[in-house]
Structure formats: C-alpha cells, structure tokens
Chains A and B, each alone.
Chain A
Amino acid sequence: MSRITDIVRFWRASPRQPGSLLLASATLAIGVAALAGAFTLMEAVLLRPPPWPNHANVAVYGGRTADDPMRAASPSLYDMVGSPESVRSRGAARMPEAMNVVYGRHRGLLRTQRVDVGFLPTLGIVPALGERVPSRMGGAEVMVSNALWHRWFDADAMAVGRVLLVDGQPMRISGVLPADYRFFADVDLILPLVLPSNTTDRVENMTAVALLAPGSITAFSESVMDTVGRNAARLHLEPADTRWYGATPLDTLTAPGARATIWLCVGCALLVLIVAAMNVSNLMLTRALDRTQETSLLFALGATGWRPWIPALSAAVVTALLAAVIGMPVGALLVMAFRPLVPDSWLASAGPLAPGSGVLVAVLVSVLLAALLATGSAVAHQHFATTGYPAPAFAPRRVYSAMALVQTALATLLLCVSTAAALRWWRLDQLPLGFDHANALVMEVRAPPAWYAGREATERLATSLRAKALRLPGVETMGWSTQLPVGDGFVMPFLRPGGAVVRLQYAVVTPGALESLGLEKTRGRWLEDGDRGDSERVVVVNQAYLEQVDGYGVGGMVRPASGRHAARIVGVVANTPLAGVSAEAEPAVFVPLAQIDHLSFATVRQWTSMYAVLRGPSVGPATGDAFARIVQDMAPSLAPANARALDQVAQMAYAEPRRDAVLLSSFAGFALALACVGHYSVQAVEVISRRRMFALRGALGATPAALMAQVLRRALVWALPGVAAGLLAALAAHRWLFVTDTALGMSDPWVFATVVPMMTVATIAAVLLPAWRAAAVEPWRVLRSD
C-alpha cells in the first residue's frame, strides 16, 4: 500500500465517520470566523491601499492641533505657500457641506465637497466615467459619486451631461467618481472651487494637498513653516502657533485612532484561534488514541518515515479546509453585523468592507498552521505509543487537562478585557447626558444663500416654519439650532478675560431651540422672542464655559476674537457630550439667530445646516412627515432630511465605548464558548476512560451526587488555576491594553468580581453532562464487563 493509497483510504473512510471531523472543523471554524472578521477589518483599515493612486508622494499641509494630526489650510495660506520647486502639483478641497439637490423625481440634502482644479489630479483620481471637475474654468459642473450614480441614475453611462439642480443652480454632470473614492468622508457630489489669488480669507476650512518629488517631504514641510513664520502677522497667528504648521504624508493620516483597537481585535481573534486549535488538538488526540493499535501494526509491519502519520496529517488538512469553508462566510457575516460600529473616519476607501483574496490567503495559512499544530499532540502520542519511548502513563489525560487550563486562561484574559470594556460603557452610560432626549425629533434643513440671501431671510423662514410646526398636534416646543447636543459643531474664536484666544463650540439658535433640545438650564433664562437684533446682545453658555473660560456666569460678557459685538450671558446650561461621553466637555456658546452679525452668519451657514427640533409628548415619525410637508409647501426647493429621534442622537454619544464593548465581548464570547467545549471534551473523555473507577466508587457506596461532584471538582481544579493565570495575565497586560485613547480599567475589582463567577459557572455548566454521565454509570454492568 503506497502513501497515496493511505491518503485515499483516509478520504474514503472520513465520510463514514463524519462526526469527529465535523466537530473538529466546526470548532476550528469559530476561530476562522473571528480571524476572518479581524483580518477583514485590518485589511480594510490598515492595509488596503488608499483610493488615491498618488498617495505615496502626496502630503497634506497646513496647521494642525495637538489632538488631531489632520492639517487644515486657509485660502490665504494656500495662496502664500504657492508651488515651491519640490511640488509637482497641488490642490485643495473645502470641508464637505450639505446642499439641496434635485434631479427629476429625486430630491435630497446631499453631502458635497468643493475641490479646486488641481485637487483630483494631485491625488491621481481618474473618473470612472466622463471627466474630472472642473473640466474647464468657471464651468457649472459636478462629478457624482459612484454610489449616487447607481442610486439616482441606475449606473446609466448617459448620465454624464445631464443637469442637476444644486441649491437651485443648474449644474452639468461632467463625470462619475471611481467606486472606491472617498477623501476622509463620504460625499455625493464634487463641485468646483475657485480660489481667488491674494485672498485674505484666513478661515482654515480647506484640506490642501501637494504631490511632491520623492524624498522632499521634509523640505516641503520646512518651506510651509517658513512661509507661515514670515506671514504670521498676515495670518493672525501668534509666533508660538507657527510650530503647528507644516506638511504630513497623506498615508499617515488614514485611520486615525484605529490602530490600537484593530490590533487588539486581531490579537483577540488569534487567541480565539489558538483556543479553537487546542480543542481540535484534544479531538485529534482522541482519534489518535483510537488509532494507536493501527499505527503500532504499521510500525510492526515495517512502516518507516512519516507514512504512519498520514491519517493524522490528512485529518488536519481536511479539518482546516472544512473549517475555512464554514468559518469564512460566518466571518463575512460578522463583519456585516459589526459594520455600523466601525467609524467612517477609519475607512480610507469607499470600497465594501468584505474579506478579499489577501484575507482569504492569510486565514487559510493561519488555519492550516493551527490544524497542523493541533495534530502535533496526536502525532507525539502515537510516536510515544509506537516507538517504544517511555511515554508517561497518563500523558494524554495530562495533555487534555493542560490544554483546558490554557484555554481557560485565554478565555479569562479575553473576558477580563471585554468585561472592562463593558464596565466602562456601563459607567459612561450612567453619566448624565445633560439633556432630555425623550419625546423629541430633529430634522436637517439647509437654506442656501441663493434663496435666503441674508440672516433676515433665513430668520423669517425659520420663524414661519416654527409657527406652523407649533400648530402640529402633539408639538409643545420647537426651535432651530446649528448644533445638536452630540456631534461635531462649528468652532469660533473668542477671547478669554485675559485676552487670549480660545475656540468655542458656536451654535446659532432660535427661541425655543434650547428647550426643544431638552438642555438642562442651571442658571438664568432661556433665549426668548424678545432677544431681537435691536435689543441687548445676549448668549447662553454651558457649564464648561464657566469652568474653562470665564467663571463669572450670568451677567458676564462673551467677546468674539473678531472684535465684533460682545454679548451678555443670560443663562447657563449643563454640558452635553458633543464629542462623546468619553471626551472632556467642551465650552459652548448659544447665540440667537436674530442677533448674529451678517459675516458670522455667512460663515456658519456655509458649513452647517440648521436642525429643526420638535418636542412634545406624542412627537414621532408622523410628526416628522408632517413637518417635512410644511417645509415642502413653504419652500419647495428645500429638501429636509435625516429626520430622527433625539434618542438616536443621544446614542451617538456612546458610539465609541459601545463599539469597544461589543467587539471585545464577541471575541470573549467565542473564547468562552470554546473553553466550555474544551472543558466538556476533557471531562467527557475523562468520564469514559475512568468508567471503571466511577463504577467502583458507585459500588462502594458513592452516591450519584458524590460522583457528579467528583467530576465537577476535577473540572474546577483544572479551571481555577487557568482563571487565576488569566487574571494575572490581564493584570500584567492592563497597561498595554488601550482602546482608542482610554485605558481599560483591567485592575478594577468589579472585573474580577464578574469574571471569576462567570468562568466558574461556565465551567460547571460545560461539564454538567459528563458529570451526569458519571453519576449514571451502573456499577454492576461496568464491573461485570470488566
């Protein structure tokens, strides 16, 4: 019989005994699914090349802050830097903004971005269809995203040349963006941006990119710093601020804050795979024990080399392949389930978050390696059993138990990590949000300057809509705000009492807005209808303003850095988690729409939408529909969008701790399930191999409860040191285990108080069946057959 015949014999025999093969494959498939999910995330976020062909030689330049590595540039700075010798091409893109877009029956408030003529060529973007925008200077043209092209035009190639109404302006479609294009945010339309030369616009609302000669990034960065240094006065910068200016390679800016979490996920997935491999190892060992006689016979008949190990190795390969077939689709489903938890800022590409060929190869190699390592113990046992080496009498049993111990330790470690993340989520969830998010609904509306040229026109629209909204059934209060209690807002420079500049969250609101947002007033009064343009200028500030900027409180003055009108503080509201519950509260000012100066209003409206906020005991989706109809009736060109309950907005505050807790708990769940399978298999084998002992104890008077207790005790004896080892590992690792920028409290006594009982109960539950089998052994049958 040849080696080939051995393999064929194994393959023919496997379907006749599918149970153990399927069990091993299903067990390993859990590890494959976890690994496929983590690898897919890693590949999409960290490894996949960004969708900008020139990315390796592109730098982003301008200023940055201590917290955010992304640089921003003002039109003025962009103009000053110009095109030094090392720059092959350059371009700029404004921050994305919302616009009312109409095409035939389609109408929506879409995300758009204005880019100058050099932006897309600098990145190396080639349109999927048509031409880049702007294809000619001054042309009223747009490029549509691939997604919008499919959604509104059914991927019709004839879409190029058609005309959209963008904020009421007819604009011709010049081309379609590639399917994977995105530049740090999803946009539906790319519009042309014309930057005047010698501009004095110092608002840093653009991303400037430069295609550089290889190796010239440092020189370019110094040149930017130089330019800023020379023009600090023109740019209104303090000399100390110039150090934050320079250039950063584009590649280093992708996936900010994602690395730690993704590496943690990959680490957890590898641990899950190891635990799965250990279980498979136990199963393989059981099969090897069954084959000992056959292997011995092969040796006795003169077999040499690796031929006697063919069945074990074939089993490893088949198990790995089957596990990959089962685990990969499960991994893909996991990724789909977790997709909503992945922040958009992590993804450089708009391509789908799905396992690619690279992930497939990596998973296949990993699982094959894991299966072969799992086979190691089986081969080693057969080696001992057949070559005359003195194997310890209870070696297989010790190997089983040691593996259960290691599995328990790994599961405990993962459970500690996930429990710490869950506790952190729970604790943050207990913190007051600072606003009542029940019974309120928000809807985004953008009134473009083309139709509502000045502040007064917008105010008239807002007032009319508010009056009609208040007549809707169930609506008690209604107002407009440019800022929601959670999420990014507009930042404006103000002056501290000492004269230093401080950037504050800046919200423009109408009367009724703060009450409708459910903000908690701690002092003073709300903004009222009487706060008109011709009355004293007033603002409401939040508690963080008092703590971080000026503690004077009601009656104090708020002074814009621009030197324009100061305003008196008439009320104070509680802080809300603008940047999420885990971030420090940011100081904010709320300015009445009726009192904002025209220049500030023009700046704010360019970057932010207005949010209609309706509150009342029966406010719901029907109220949103009714309000949308009112808007349509009064301003048919506006496209109200993103209607959602304020509850949903509040949930955004927990996005980061919830993501960490859910991701890590999933891995811990896998590991715990596998550890339970491990304990079950160890004790099941133990009970079978020690049936005679259990029968004898039964014959000598051990009660069924005593026999059960013996199995449970034995399982716990092996599990508890594993739990202790896992806790020690968690304690040792807690300094390194960071999720985003917040350390998990691994040394928290509650982690231990939760994990130890959980592991104990899980172990007991896992071995209940074998324990019951031990108790059900009928002594006289076993001893008689003996």
Chain B
Amino acid sequence: MQAHTRPSIIEMHGIGKVFQAGSMECQVLTDIHLTVRQGEFVSIAGPSGCGKTTLLSLMGLLDVPSHGELRFRGESVHAMGRAERARLRNRHIGFVFQAFNLIDDLSVAENVALPLSFRKDVMARDRARRVVEALGSVGMAHRMRHYPAQLSGGQQQRVAVARALVGDPSILLADEPTGNLDLHNGETVMALLNRLHVDGRTICMVTHDDRFNAMADRTVRLLDGRVVDESTFRQLQSEADSGLAARRHSASFP
C-alpha cells in the first residue's frame, strides 16, 4: 500500500494553541496542518521553545487545541470529554517521555502493566503475558522484578518503551526519548524505535538531534510555532544564527 493511501491516525487542520498567563496571551502554535498515517515514522524538529512538546501533547490528546480541527483515527476530538480522551489514550496511544517517568515504588513489570490496569477488558493472565511480551520486545524481560532505581538510564527508557507498547497502541509518541541518555544508550533506544517502525509501528518523535531525524520517514520542522519546509527552515535558522552573531559582534566592538 502506498504511504499516502494508508488510513490516517492523526489529522490536524489549522491547529493553533494559545496559553493564557494572567492577562497575557501566548500563541504557541499557529495554523498547523499535519497528517500522520499508519506505519509512518514522523520526527518533529525545531529549536527550544518552538512548540514541539505542545504539538506532541495535542497529538497525544493530553491537551486540546485552541483553534482548528484535530481528528484522531477519523474522529474529531473537540466534542470529547476528558474521560473519553483518556480512554482513547489508553487504547491507542503509547507515550515515551524524555524523563522515563517510571514510578519508583513499582517494579518493572508493574510499571509496564500500568496502562493495562486502567482497562477492564484485559484479564489478569492476559495482562501478565502481554507484559512479558512487551518487556521481551525491548530486551528487558529478565529485569521484570527489579525496581527503576536498580536500572541504568537506557534500561529505564527501554522499560518505558515497553510500557508504551504493552497496550498495542495505534501510535507511539516519543518526546525527546534520548534527551536524558548518553550517546550509547541513546543509539540503543533509537535502534529499538527503528526496529518497531520496521515492524509496522506508527511513531511520532520529537527530537532536536539531526542524526535521529534521519531515521524518520519525514521530518516536520517547527519554527516559532509554525510548520515550515526544509529550505525555509534552513534559511530562517541561518538568518537567526547570523543575526545572533551580528549582535554578538556589535556587542564586542561598539
């Protein structure tokens, strides 16, 4: 099947996000048009503060947009309440966070089982099997009785990936999954995500590491809350860098 004919998981049309800070309004995202189709590996790139994480939180139904239309698996999320969005998240979205976000007083297996604990349709035996499978898929089945504090950063992130996979989600959202890892562990985790993609998983990942962007099918570039194409991005980035250099220069030689 051609990529563009696959069913879409996420569709964003004219999405904007405004934050209210007292009497001040802050426009974080403006007029975003984006579609993520099944089986795609999309990376979102951009400088700090450009709105990458906000965009990911909208895609993950953690927040709702201020403007525009957001559809998840063909359904508009605007009319959905918090509980319905939570149920969609639980069944169709897997999260991998930069800071791992494992619960310290739960074992590895219990952490991985957490998303299944919110579902009534998964029996206990089935839950245990799926936990073992998920941990096996990231190579961590042998550490299932350990606690997060007993694992390295890379191992913790692999457990977090297993937790994201255990519910067999439609899409995996990863927010800077290598941000807290050293080079070696970062590459291991990226190799894992890449393997999952090859196996057919839909992945959307925020990163500012160009090496990892290259693994994605396509990269969405964000700048000041807008999606820009590659050439525009490079140009604006270059202008911004030179402007900064000029300002530095003028500061040195008044």
Contact = CB atoms under 8 A, between A and B. Distances in A.
B208 interface: no
B118 A780 contact: no
Contacts, number: 62
A21 B83 CA distance: 39
Interface stretch (A331-339, A701-709, A747-755): A701-709
Nearest to B83: A703
B99 A700 contact: no
A362 B76 CA distance: 69
B101 A701 contact: no
A699 B62 contact: yes
A287 interface: no
Interface string B90-124: 11010101010101010000000011001100000
B interface, how many residues as a size bin? 20 to 34
Contacts of B88: 701
A701 B62 contact: no
B194 interface: no
A778 B86 contact: no
Interface string B60-80: 101100000000000000000
Nearest to B62: A780
A698 B118 CA distance: 10
A637 B82 CA distance: 84
Contacts of B90: 700-702
A696 interface: yes
A699 B83 contact: no
A761 to B, nearest CB: 25
A780 B63 contact: yes
Given A705-B83, A783-B97, A699 B118 contact: no
Nearest to A776: B82
Nearest to A394: B105
Contact of B103 (A394, A693, A778): A693
Contacts of B82: 703-704
Given A703-B118, A706-B118, A696 B91 contact: no
A26 B160 CA distance: 46
A669 interface: no
Interface in A604-624: none
A392 to B, nearest CB: 12
A568 interface: no
Nearest to A693: B103
B89 A701 contact: yes
Contacts of A786: 99, 101
B91 A701 contact: yes
A106 interface: no
B53 interface: yes
Nearest to B164: A700
B57 interface: yes
A503 interface: no
B118 A702 contact: yes
Contacts of B167: 701
Contacts of A394: 105
A784 B17 CA distance: 16
Nearest to B163: A700
B83 A701 contact: no
A701 B163 contact: no
B4 interface: no
A455 interface: no
A772 to B, nearest CB: 13
B86 A702 contact: yes
Contacts of B53: 780, 784
A700 B62 contact: no
9 contacts: A698-B86, A699-B95, A701-B87, A701-B88, A701-B89, A702-B90, A705-B83, A778-B63, A779-B62
Given A697-B114, A701-B90, A704-B82, 6 more contacts: A394-B105, A699-B89, A700-B90, A700-B115, A701-B115, A703-B87
